[in-house]
Amino acid sequence: MPENLLLAFGLTLFAGLATGIGSVLAFFTSTTNTKFLSLSLGFSAGVMIYVSMVEIFVKAQDSLVLALGEGLGKWMTVVGFFGGMVLIALIDKFIPKQGNPHELKKVEDMSKKPHDPALLKMGTFTAIAIAIHNFPEGIATFTSAIQDPTLGIAIATAIAIHNIPEGIAVSVPIYFATGSKKKAFKWSFLSGLSEPVGAVVAYLILMPYLNDVMFGIIFASVAGIMVFISLDELLPAAKKYDETHLPIYGLIGGMAVMAVSLLLFI
């Protein structure tokens, strides 16, 4: 059994269930702190981009070069990186538009009149879309934590931050449709469970084959997935919540914190 197995599962569970935090915020606060969300999403993007390009990509390349030689190893790293981007882009493409988890939702929307059945489909699709998105994120968190706990903690924290507004995105339309906070929370909570499911799949299917080549390809793909999510989801969402320079300040702050963390702990 890998030394960091329980920590890896715990971090993945923590990151996934942050969607429930978003749901709770929707129920127990009267307004959305858009500036805080914008700054947080920018921060999360900064962490993801920096750690992907400076740490994860480099580790993937080192592993593949060691196993395959310098020329082929570097090429495989690049292929894995963009392959990860293609994978998450395809997932995005086949999610129905009405279930798009990038759609901005605010806590204030909860005050609108509920029992709008037309929104049940939208809320359900949103939950499914987020679950699909969270699955590869679960694999990313798990494999990172297995290899390097400090890296896993950083990735889990960044993913957890961006899962909070996703929880709001699930809760609001389902509450509209049913008038039930309990059902809205349940769907939000369940959408996050696909992240630990991704960890279980990684453990059962990938772990037995985790040699230098497999590790390098997975890490390169994880780097691509995280950069894509940052550019396609986090930064646009941050700008929707606040159109000032806050998202960029958050981005720079996230990069700075990650840089210092890597210097101190890795």
pLDDT 10s digits, 1-16: 567 889 999 999 998 8
* Residues contributing to the annotated binding site: 134, 137, 162-163, 166, 195
* Residues contributing to the annotated binding site for Fe(2+): 134, 137, 163, 166, 195
For the chain, what is the largest distance between any 2 Cα atoms, rounded to a whole number of angstroms? Answer: 63
* Residues contributing to the annotated binding site for Zn(2+): 137, 162, 166
* Contact between residue 57 and residue 223 where contact means Cβ atoms under 8 Å apart: yes
pLDDT 10s digits, 167-212: 877 777 777 777 777 888 888 888 888 899 989 988 888 888 778 8
* Contact between residue 82 and residue 217 where contact means Cβ atoms under 8 Å apart: no
How far is Cα 64 from Cα 252, in angstroms, rounded to an integer? 30
| Residue 57 pLDDT | 94
| Residue 39 pLDDT | 84
| Residue 211 pLDDT | 84
Q: What are the residue ranges in the chain where pLDDT is below 70? A: 1-2, 26-33, 95-123, 125-126, 266
| Residue 187 pLDDT | 84
| Residue position matching structure tokens 């890896």 | 8
How far is Cα 224 from Cα 88, in angstroms, rounded to an integer? 9
Burial class of residue 6 in the structure, from the number of CB atoms within 10 Å of its CB (0-12 exposed, 13-18 middle, 19+ buried): exposed
Q: Running DSSP on this structure, what letter comes out for residue 244?
A: S
In this prediction the pTM is: 0.75
